[in-house]
Structure 1
Amino acid sequence: MSVADTPPVAPPPSLGKLFWVFLVMGATSLGGGVVGYLRTGLVVRQRWLDDLSFVELLSISQTLPGLNATNMSILVGDRLRGGLGALVATLGMCLPGASLMIAAGFAYGAGGDGPWSKAFLHGIAAGAVGLIVVVLVQLGAKTLKTVADYVFVVLTAVAVAFFKVPVPYALIVAGIVAIWWHRPRDKDVP
């Protein structure tokens, strides 16, 4: 489905529905693959955002400190229902994870170095990587339009993975170069 084929955006939800949807997403999402899960929930199922708005909010959330899921819940909640919506969405997103982390902390203290615990964590990690790849393909197909865009992605990934450039520095440099590259080139444009 292309951006042009995206269904129309639904009207803003009630605060109760906003809390419930983020509570369910917070309770059923795992690890780094949460971005794809958020897109499916917010763009495809609920139709609260279109793909362009989702990518814009995701870009903002990734430049802020903290978890993408929490940042997205704040930004989406604010966009849909203002400050109270941001609070409700954030509570919904964070409550399940906080509860599970408290329980996991107690369980890990009682035997977390066992082979079953390690096998479970390796399985979750593999699933999260798969979800990240799916999101990369889905969002990349919608937002990367030119060969230069793909070059920026590859160079940023190489800088971080192989040359150990800190992510914020890599993003700042890539952002500056990409802005310069995509600048309006018509002499009549101010």
Structure 2
Amino acid sequence: MPDAASPPTHLSLFLVFCRIGLTSFGGGISGWLLREFVQQRRWLSEEEFLNGLALSQAFPGVNVSNMAIWIGYRLLGTWGALLSLLGIIVPAAFLIVGLAAVFSLLQRYPLTHVALTGAAAAAIGLSLNMAVLTIRRVPRRAGPVAVMVLAFVAVGILRWPLPWVVLGLGTASVAMAYRRLGRRS
């Protein structure tokens, strides 16, 4: 793990997740988490973060919640996981209820829809940034590149159901990695 200016405390971790939960709209949160925990605070290395991201996307449930739990647990154990999850969910839930009430009053104004479109564009940009970073980190071997291309074609072009693609390609990817590790030892 890279040198951090100061290790996280339970309160600082909770507050970081509160801020992220309250200021993240419409996706792209992985990019925000990367920037916060790897680039700015240096509490995690890029490799640790990407490993956690892969795990959080492989497990059932909401990726953001899974990632908050993983980061919290990695940094401060069980209490860190609980505080991270509460930090990213609870304040945002109150904000969403408040925004829904406000949006119901403002939905007839075109500027409201323009603002939501802008927030969606920013989220897409953060997601694209995360995708580019992840692609740069994929080992330049035929197996991982083939899995990446097949996943794109299967889901993006052929529109195959995501669970079956993940099950099939995930199993193939794990088998390839296991075989490669077996050759090393």
TM-score, shorter chain, exceeding 0.5:
yes
Residue 120 (structure 1) aligns with: 115
- Say if 2:2 is the partner of 1:7: yes
1:54 to 45, 49, 53: 49
Letter in 2 for 1:64: F
- The number of aligned residues is 184
Change (3 A) 1:169 1:113: farther
Change (3 A) 1:187 1:144: closer
Residue 165 of structure 1: CA displacement? 1.7
How far apart are the structure 2 equivalents of 1:188 and 1:36?
A: 33
How far apart are the structure 2 equivalents of 1:83 and 1:185?
A: 31
- Say if 2:63 is the partner of 1:68: yes
Show the 5 A alignment for 1:60-139: 60-139=55-134
- Say if 2:180 is the partner of 1:184: yes
Letter in 1 for 2:166: L
How far apart are the structure 1 equivalents of 2:184 and 2:45?
A: 32
How far apart are the structure 1 equivalents of 2:112 and 2:86?
A: 28
How far apart are the structure 2 equivalents of 1:37 and 1:163?
A: 30
> Per the alignment, in what secondary structure is the counterpart of residue 135 of structure 1?
helix
> Per the alignment, in what secondary structure is the counterpart of residue 31 of structure 1?
coil
Residue 140 (structure 1) aligns with: 135
Residue 159 (structure 1) aligns with: 154
How far apart are the structure 1 equivalents of 2:147 and 2:101?
A: 44
CA contact (8 A) 2:25 2:120 kept: no
Structure-2-length-normalised TM-score: 0.86
Change (3 A) 1:87 1:158: same
How far apart are the structure 2 equivalents of 1:10 and 1:173?
A: 42
- Say if 2:19 is the partner of 1:24: yes
Q: 1 or 2, which has the higher helix percentage?
A: 2
* Structure 1 gap segments, 5+ residues each: 1-5
CA contact (8 A) 1:58 1:72 kept: yes
How far apart are the structure 1 equivalents of 2:39 and 2:71?
A: 15
Structure-1-length-normalised TM-score: 0.84
CA RMSD in angstroms, aligned pairs only: 2.3
CA contact (8 A) 2:56 2:66 kept: yes
* Structure 2 gap segments, 5+ residues each: none
49-58 or 140-149, which moves further after superposition? 140-149
% identical aligned pairs: 33
Letter in 1 for 2:58: T
How far apart are the structure 1 equivalents of 2:145 and 2:154?
A: 14
Residue 173 (structure 1) aligns with: 168
How far apart are the structure 2 equivalents of 1:179 and 1:71?
A: 20
How far apart are the structure 1 equivalents of 2:158 and 2:109?
A: 35
